[in-house]
Amino acid sequence: MSLTNETKPPTARVHPVDEVLPAPRLFILGLQHLFIMYAGAVAVPLIVGGALGLRRSTIGLLVNADLFVSGVATVIQSVGIGKIFGVRLPVVAGATFTVLSPMIIIAQKYGLPAVYGAMLCSGVFGLLIAKPFAMMIRFFPPLVAGTVICVIGLSLIGADVSLIAGDDPAAKGYGQVSHIALAGLVMLLIVVITRCFRGFISQIAVLLSIAIGTLVAWPMHLLDFSSVHSAKWVGFSGFFRFGHPKFEAAAIISMCIVMLVTYTESTADMLAGNNNLLIVAVSLAAGLLPAVAPSFYEHFPNNFQVIFGSSITSTVIVVFTLNLVFNHWSWRRQGTESAVEVAVREGAVAVNVPDDGVKVSGAT
């Protein structure tokens, strides 16, 4: 006697969070994570090393150590150890800009050994408060998460300006139209791919945009791989290169406070990922560029400078346009909307999800 659909035992379903994607998709998504995090990860040791006047070879060792620790932390964060360590989400753990100012101040006052001593103590402090902090998740509503992520983005505007326009506003090549246009093209591609495609293609919008931008930069002679030939494939920075850790009370307290801020930053970052976040990020970035760097558009036509040289007008134009494209443009590719998406768009509320489909009610 065969089992009917009604009498068959239910098959165990894997929660989407625990689902393991096919290897090709994992590789591409991991590559995108790598490209996104790399610039931010290496920027921290570069800035710290430059502020402290370290030699280029020494800064290279800091970058080496930074990437090594980021890799270890990423594995622990993604895979997890027991039920305490690791969020078990596909995230890349990199250096945070939160530590920049405290690290530089501590190093200038007490030396680099005091930085490492403070780091070690704050690491132990972070492990001790990890579990209690996880129980405070209800205190991170969209208001808190959105505010923290907003500040994270705003703190990086200055670094973005230097990467696009250059470090010295007085330099002859500062703010070249071609460089700014290339950066604008990459941002435009991210928006277009995110909006016009769905599923996997939409998820790798940043990777595709970076790849296309790199191809465009090639004939512009913006790619230089000359120093890659002399670089080693594998490097190790060693232990206690700057001396044994030094423990200073003020430095330890400062870094422990930074650890709390980092926890807040990470929690908010993992709880946030809809289209409105992209709209806000792009709009604020476009609006604050002329505020952070008044000469950013100095090589553009006068009419363009009048409009986009103002933070207010540029922000209004960008946010208004993106809101129309993402939230009011009703075009959908044929056959791509799911039942839930149709229900949400038409004002319905999903009340349950039985085995044989989605049932919705409460249309308004």
Length of the chain measured in residues: 364
Tell me the C-alpha distance between 157 and 293, whole Å.
10
Q: For 1-10, 81-90, 115-124, 180-189, which range has the lowest pLDDT when averaged over its residues?
A: 1-10
Mean pLDDT of 64-91: 81
Q: For 49-58, 162-171, 195-204, 353-362, which range has the lowest pLDDT when averaged over its residues?
A: 353-362
* Tens-place pLDDT, residues 186-241: 999 999 998 888 777 887 888 888 889 999 999 988 887 776 777 777 767 777 78
Partnered with residue 23 across adjacent β-strands are: none
Mean pLDDT of 101-106: 88
- Whether 122 has a pLDDT exceeding 90, the answer reads yes
| pLDDT for position 102 | 86
User: What are φ and ψ of residue 350, in 5° steps?
Assistant: -75, 125
Helix axes 275-292, 142-155, angle to 10 degrees: 40
- Whether 5 has a pLDDT exceeding 70, the answer reads no
DSSP string covering 294-305:
TTTTTTS-HHHH
* Tens-place pLDDT, residues 136-189: 777 777 777 677 777 767 777 777 788 788 878 888 889 999 999 999 999 999
More confident residue, 13 or 177: 177
Place 331 in a pLDDT band, splitting at 50, 70 and 90: low
Judge whether 318 and 329 are in contact, CB under 8 Å: no
H or E element in which residue 352 lies: strand 349-352
- Burial level of 322, CB count in 10 A (0-12/13-18/19+)? buried
Residues in CB range of 157: below 8 A, 6 or more apart: 285, 288, 289, 292
Tell me the C-alpha distance between 152 and 146, whole Å.
10
| This prediction's pTM | 0.62
Cα–Cα nearest to 208, from 179, 188, 225? 188
More confident residue, 16 or 185: 185
Residues in CB range of 298: below 8 A, 6 or more apart: 175, 305
Q: For 168-177, 298-307, 315-324, which range has the lowest pLDDT when averaged over its residues?
A: 168-177
More confident residue, 111 or 158: 111
Please report, for the chain, the start and end positions of each structural domain, with discontinuous segments joined by +.
19-95
Max CA distance (Å), the chain: 85
What is residue 55's DSSP assignment?
A: -
| pLDDT for position 281 | 83
| pLDDT for position 360 | 40
Partnered with residue 81 across adjacent β-strands are: 85
- Whether 252 has a pLDDT exceeding 90, the answer reads yes
Using alpha carbons, list the distances in angstroms from residue 253 to 34, 177, 183.
Answer: 32, 46, 40
Mean pLDDT of 279-292: 88
For 54, the token pair is 């370290």
Mean pLDDT of 235-259: 86
- Per DSSP, the three-state class of 241 is coil
| Share of residues in the chain with pLDDT > 70 (%) | 81
- Burial level of 344, CB count in 10 A (0-12/13-18/19+)? middle
Mean pLDDT of 110-127: 92
